[in-house]
Chains A and B, each alone.
Chain A
Amino acid sequence: MHYEAPIRRPLITGDKSYEDITRDVSRPIETNAPRSWWIVFSIALLAFLWGIGCILYTIGDGIGVWGLNKTIGWAWDITNFVWWVGIGHAGTLISAILLLFRQKWRMSINRSAEAMTIFSVIQAALFPLIHMGRPWLAYFVFPLPNQFGSLWVNFNSPLLWDVFAISTYFSVSLVFWYVGLIPDFSMLRDRAKNPVQKHIYRILSFGWAGRAKHWQRFEEVSLVLAGLATPLVLSVHTIVSMDFATSVIPGWHSTIFPPYFVAGAIFSGFAMVLTLLIITRKVLHLESYITREHVELMNIVIILTGGIVAVAYITEFFIAWYSGSNYEDFVYMSWGAATGPYAWAFWALIICNIITPLFLWFRKVRRNFLASFIISIVINIGMWFERFDIIVMDLSRDYLPSSWAMFSPTFVDIGIFVGTIGFFFVLFLLYARSFPVIAQAELKTILKSSGENYKKLQAKEEHGH
């Protein structure tokens, strides 16, 4: 049993024992949902239904019901796609990379972060599907044998890379998440009084018993999955960025996109995790597990990734100017953009993504829940604008001025986006009341090393000598 240095602040506050953890984690599931939950849930559900309506309208009438045109063939659809995928990165990143780095503080947040990943990737996956002119032929993108024999997909196309990247990412994250859930499900199973509940959790827990050998395999599998998920998570946004980077459109054709998109993804992902957890800890009374420490640590990651993103913007701006090519005059990071018809979008991006995160350099701000909450939301808005600017501004003014055009969304564009947000929260709220929102089994392993009370004890002992 190893103990960590007393200088490290405790990750579990309050006088907690193993039973306490069990009780605290299963409380939301064993108690009834408060009114507040029902209110939020019904709002989310309404938004979700509205979104479905808009999607059906689109599929019924044609993509023409969106605001797109001959010059701007993508706008909100792909913006939302990239935005959701980006958000989806934090989960896997927290549980995979931080696991590899043995970051113990991940344990109280990784479960929810992964849930968020799964749910947002579901939203993301929706857009490539419905943005198709003929979604009912979507299966064409899979390399399936067909009646035409030699009619295969085009493996040169970044969109096809997306198909493979997104589906792999989604399924692997799902498996990773589920494997981690199994011991916690079995805990719920063994506590459950209500037979129905017991039955459900019995099925979900795959009959886990916590045998020593199983634990041994469990830990190795988690470790290997983490090892696989880490390059995977980096590859996904790399490939998404290649949708643009491999094109010839000024502003899209940019070699720094992969690293910069990944950084952006983590940036927005962590922001979203913050947004969610700051609410969750209050609503589900998990203050002693999701502590100021966690918030601060995540804010630090945001400062780092936000910094990378900011540097990327500046680089883009510089290169656009330095290239001396007048095709680059109006790319999303350029004077042309800053002063052109889309100046408002340009400045929205700068303010949300470069200026606002700077406040996190103050320790007071990054240890303040409310401030972090607001900033995290601003960052998510900013990251949405980043994708909007890249897609719409670059398309609206490309090579031939004769084809320049502009874009403005229709109610359908907006409706579908709102719908996905609704769908996301519907899923997350259901999760919050039926799943163990904290990886309690893992957390118990660090109770002694990082629990506040144990740290005190240990401190005493040392002084005693």
Chain B
Amino acid sequence: MADKKQYWRGIAELENPGLKEQLGKNEFRDPLPTDEFLSDENALHNGQTSRRDFLKYMGFTTAAATLAACESPVYESVPYVVAPEEVIPGLANYYATSYFDGHDYASLLIKTREGRPIKVENNKMAKLNGSANARLQGSVLNLYDSSRLQAPRKGSESIDWETLDAQVIDGLQKADAAGKQVVLLTGSVISPSAQKVIRKFGKQFKQFRHVVVDPLSYSEKLRAWQEATGKRALPLYHFDKARAIVSFGADFLGDWVGQSVSSDYAKTRVPGKDMSRHLQFEANLSLTGSNADQRYKLKASETGLALAELYNAIAQAKGRPTLNLKGKSSQYQAVQKAGKELLKAGAKALVVAGGNNADWEHLVIAINKMLGAEGNTVNVEQRCFLRQGSDQALENLTADMKAGKVGGIVLHNANPAYHRAGNLAFKEALQKVNTRVAITPKANETAQACDFLAAESHYLESWNDFKPADGHYSLQQPTIQRVYDTRQFEECLMRWAGMVGSYREMIQNSWQEGMLRDRSWKEVLHDGVFAAATPLAGATQEPAEQETAQEAQSDGANLDRVAASVSKMAQNASGMELNLYQKAGVGAGMLANNPWLQELPDPITRTTWDNYVALSAADAKELGLRNWNESDGALNGNAVNLTIGKTKLKEVPVIVQPGQTPGTIGLAIGYGRKGLGKVADGVGLNAQQLSVGRAHFAEVEVEPLPEYKHPFASIQHGYTMMGREIVKETDLSTFLNKPAHTAAGDGWNELPEFGTYKGEQAPDKTTLWSSFDHETGHMWNMSIDLNMCTGCGACVVACQSENNVPAVGKEEVRNFRDMHWLRIDRYYSSEVTEEMAEDLSTAELYDQMEKAADSPSVYFQPVMCQHCNHAPCETVCPVAATTHSSEGLNHMAYNRCIGTRYCANNCPYKVRRFNWFEYHNNQERFDVNYSMNEDMGKMVLNPDVTVRSRGVMEKCSMCIQRIQLGKLEAKKNGVPVKDGQVQTACQSACDTGAIVFGDVNDKESKVFQLKGDDRMYHLLGEVGTQPSVFYQVKVTNKA
């Protein structure tokens, strides 16, 4: 204690000696009484420490120790030396940027706190893809993924950029000198500036090729459009203009051609006179299919024939020549019906096809033409460049590589060794190339076979400009200094092309020169998007620049040829058909190393951390395969071996999927990764290991393994609603022509009532208690429109990242311990009817009710804490850890919670989540959840939300931190909180506007009107919990 040395923390303090005192002042309102005895020189030096001194010191140290031992841990913090003026601690900054990884595209707002990007929001200003799907909602976490390449690498040892540059340039020039090809293999490139850079880069070499490949091939589709319009690009679709939508296997609400159409689609789904009718013909039960008014099972091999039949039906009606077809498709009748619907809608009709088949596309184009939809719902003037890949070119390239004609190759956004593993021996061919460079964020499947790995920056660390479609432009700007020693693709090429200056300058210049007439760069950068009526000089980069080989065939558009080939396909179809699809969470697998996305339950099967074969009940029976539940309810399944030609996929687990077309199986791509990191690696199997070819389906041999047992992590145990009024549904005509509530009680939205001495009363009126005042101040309510909700899951991930909700890993999900505050329940319709119930025994009846129908209607219902005003959870908490706020919210005080779990038991909605373990700083159990167990990962945590400790209960708080912020802002401005000022995370993530949050005491508010809507009902209203969340009855437009 006698020691009087001076210590300084950091240079800042040394340079500025006043700082210490300053900090001291800020820290304690009044100085601690330590000096009283510590400064007493004699007492300290001539060590005659008296008993009283000793006691003083003892007292002080004990007190200090006690304080130090308080529950909240103190982490070391590094203050800004020079604070950037735009960063105000405690306040969020938003930056507009865009995401493109060669597959997914969206323009976004990024929320940063103290310079850390922590949340992805939708860019409402964007006209095209202004909303992040579930994947992009989670993409911010990938920024902090420690398994990213943290520095450039040669083979396995890391090197610095200069060495890499030198060696790469040297390698490529050698190759060029040797008269060999230098190849740039990328995903679709939609950046005009990147195109410039690529051209510059290519100029250095005699034989330069730029080959483009998409994770999932669309080259046949593109070929069709090239043949039809001469331009190798897909059109833009305007679903908002469509009144009749007929989709043949196009999962446009899930993953289709890259254009996100769900918001447009939702616009036509508002119950009313001009609500659209949506018919879906498909093999897998897709997200789109489950939202359709009517869904018909159709094998992919019959799709062409069905389309031709549709063509004929319409041609007949229009008195045009019809095609002569052999045989009839299994859905002939339905197709005729679809034809009528389309004709009724005329120009407001829209036919779309999925898969990747030129013939189908030609028929679709022709049908839309006939209907006059082209130019209306199908916009061929504005072409969409999100899909540009050419498999022909890739195949040629592979051949050349095998033949040793290629001397150097640079890869970016392209991973053929994974995405084409089954189709071609790319990896082997790659070995024949002398200089192999991968510009990649990960040492992924293809990169592993390269000798130079240029560590690529995350999109939140990069500059770029995008032209997703004619007339649509957007900018990508970094929201954080590079986390690792990385560089973005364009910067690399610029170096290797010997270009000077930075990529940002280049973009800015080209924009200022070419595009921005009256608007300033800053302005556009702020908006992040820029819509220009006419194509602009500065950025009219044509995708045709890339090599697309000689794909287009002269007679491609000849419909007679098409008719013949589609009939042939239908006739030759015999065996089982495998249909590839993408899951909401993982997609094509670019962001797969992300626990949030892996743990996002599949909207249909509600299964996490897996891909699997979806099998129809009939086929399962035939093959002797089944799913069953363990004694703890966990789901198990058998498996199958899949064989296509020489390619095999062993032990693929099976889920028996209601609605799956018999004779077909579905399998998601994007799984079975190697080299992406601890989260993605080894989860599921790579579907593209099978040689499916360019189409998204192929005939497959299925070898059942009835002995095999695979453990699934499925969070939903029940299939149906068991005859309970959980999701209320009615059809359009009833909705339009009948009252919601009638005295007779046969309305389409009868609300529960109880007989009292005052007559029939609503549950919230039948109470013995005098009620609390909910009229003064705010009364937060939420409306969820079951018509708008497509079940895409964006809200779930948004909630997870906003509220620091832990991902718990496969084992814990399997134990039904998922932590999602917001879940989207999925229900299938059952085949049981009133009549059936009559002649079934009770036991049989229950058994039947639990089974889903063969072709079920599917219902999605987002459920979060309903914030009941008579909350069962509150009453039972012994320590009053959960109580009700005066604003109608159900609060949860984590510090007070002792974890009896009584509240969760007593919650009718089962929305409360318990911290069974310590989910943060618990590496040995929850390693995969790096957002809470790695210092880097923790950067993503929202500082406004507590990270819950072990043993406490947690649940949806209606984003209380956002509510507080909204109220504070309003208070600062001295005005009442405006409607829409406070948006919950789920609400702002929902691009269909299904979720509306607001103050029902504000009679102007949207939520207030919605509460008065005829479609309004409370979930389990009859229980009398008086929820603050209400739902809007689902209205389907069945024919």
Instruction: Report A's interface with B, CB cutoff 8 A.
Output: 61-64, 67-71, 73-74, 128, 131-135, 137-138, 140-141, 151-154, 156-160, 163, 243, 246-249, 326-327, 329-330, 335-336, 338-341, 395-396, 398-408
Which residue from A62, A247, A398 sits with its C-beta under 8 Å from B950? Answer: A62
- A317, chain B: closest CB distance, angstroms: 12
Segment from B11-19, B216-224, B671-679, B810-818 that makes contact with A: B810-818
Tell me the complex Cα distance, A48–B950, Å: 27
Which residue of chain B is the closest to A61 with respect to CB atoms?
B917
Tell me the complex Cα distance, A403–B909, Å: 8
Contact B878 A141 (CB under 8 A): yes
Tell me the complex Cα distance, A393–B75, Å: 45
Tell me the complex Cα distance, A339–B861, Å: 29
Which residue from A61, A71, A153, A158 sits with its C-beta under 8 Å from B876? Answer: A158
Contact B916 A339 (CB under 8 A): no
Contact A247 B916 (CB under 8 A): no
Given contacts A134-B951, A400-B910, A405-B633, contact A153 B879 (CB under 8 A): yes
Q: Which residues of B contact A131 (CB under 8 A)?
A: 900-901
Given contacts A399-B1020, A399-B1023, contact A70 B897 (CB under 8 A): no
Q: Which residues of A contact B951 (CB under 8 A)?
A: 62-63, 132-134
Q: Which residues of B contact A135 (CB under 8 A)?
A: 898
- A70, chain B: closest CB distance, angstroms: 5
Segment from B144-152, B659-667, B718-726, B754-762 that makes contact with A: B718-726
Segment from B200-208, B236-244, B387-395, B624-632 that makes contact with A: B624-632
Interface centre among B726, B878, B897, B916 (most CB of A within 10 A): B878
Which residue of chain B is the closest to A141 with respect to CB atoms?
B878
How many A-B pairs fall under 8 Å by CB? 195
Interface centre among B817, B877, B898, B1020 (most CB of A within 10 A): B898
- B171, chain A: closest CB distance, angstroms: 53
Q: Which residues of A contact B973 (CB under 8 A)?
A: none
Contact A71 B917 (CB under 8 A): no
Contact B863 A402 (CB under 8 A): yes
Tell me the complex Cα distance, A122–B818, Å: 35
Q: Which residues of A contact B909 (CB under 8 A)?
A: 399-400, 403
Q: Which residues of B contact A243 (CB under 8 A)?
A: 902
Instruction: Report B's interface with A, CB cutoff 8 A.
Output: 629-633, 716-724, 726, 812, 815-818, 823, 825-827, 842-843, 846-847, 861, 863, 872, 875-880, 896-902, 904-906, 908-910, 912-918, 949-953, 1020, 1023, 1025
Tell me the complex Cα distance, A71–B817, Å: 9
Contact B899 A401 (CB under 8 A): no
11 A-B contact pairs sorted by A residue (CB < 8 Å)? A62-B950, A63-B901, A73-B901, A133-B900, A133-B951, A141-B878, A159-B902, A326-B724, A329-B846, A402-B726, A403-B717
Tell me the complex Cα distance, A243–B900, Å: 12
Q: Which residues of B contact A140 (CB under 8 A)?
A: 878-879, 896, 898
- Main SS at interface, chain A: loop
Q: Which residues of A contact B872 (CB under 8 A)?
A: 247-248
- A45, chain B: closest CB distance, angstroms: 30
Tell me the complex Cα distance, A209–B863, Å: 71
4 further contact pairs, Cβ within 8 A, besides A73-B901, A330-B846: A64-B916, A132-B899, A247-B872, A401-B827
Which residue of chain B is the closest to A338 with respect to CB atoms?
B843
- A373, chain B: closest CB distance, angstroms: 32
Tell me the complex Cα distance, A68–B629, Å: 16
Q: Which residues of B contact A402 (CB under 8 A)?
A: 716, 718, 726, 823, 825-827, 861, 863
Which residue from B722, B900, B917 sits with its C-beta under 8 Å from A132? Answer: B900
Which residue of chain B is the closest to A402 with respect to CB atoms?
B825
Tell me the complex Cα distance, A132–B861, Å: 32
- B772, chain A: closest CB distance, angstroms: 14
Contact B879 A70 (CB under 8 A): no
Q: Which residues of A contact B877 (CB under 8 A)?
A: 154, 157, 159
Which residue of chain A is the closest to B861 with respect to CB atoms?
A402
Given contacts A157-B877, A339-B846, contact A249 B905 (CB under 8 A): yes
Contact A403 B817 (CB under 8 A): no
Tell me the complex Cα distance, A128–B812, Å: 24
Contact A335 B900 (CB under 8 A): no
Given contacts A247-B872, A335-B842, contact A141 B898 (CB under 8 A): yes
Which residue of chain B is the closest to A139 with respect to CB atoms?
B898
Contact A138 B910 (CB under 8 A): no
- B282, chain A: closest CB distance, angstroms: 24
Tell me the complex Cα distance, A398–B815, Å: 18
Contact B843 A70 (CB under 8 A): no
Which residue of chain B is the closest to A138 with respect to CB atoms?
B898
Tell me the complex Cα distance, A131–B722, Å: 32
- A345, chain B: closest CB distance, angstroms: 11
Q: Which residues of B contact A327 (CB under 8 A)?
A: 724
Contact B632 A62 (CB under 8 A): no
Tell me the complex Cα distance, A407–B717, Å: 12
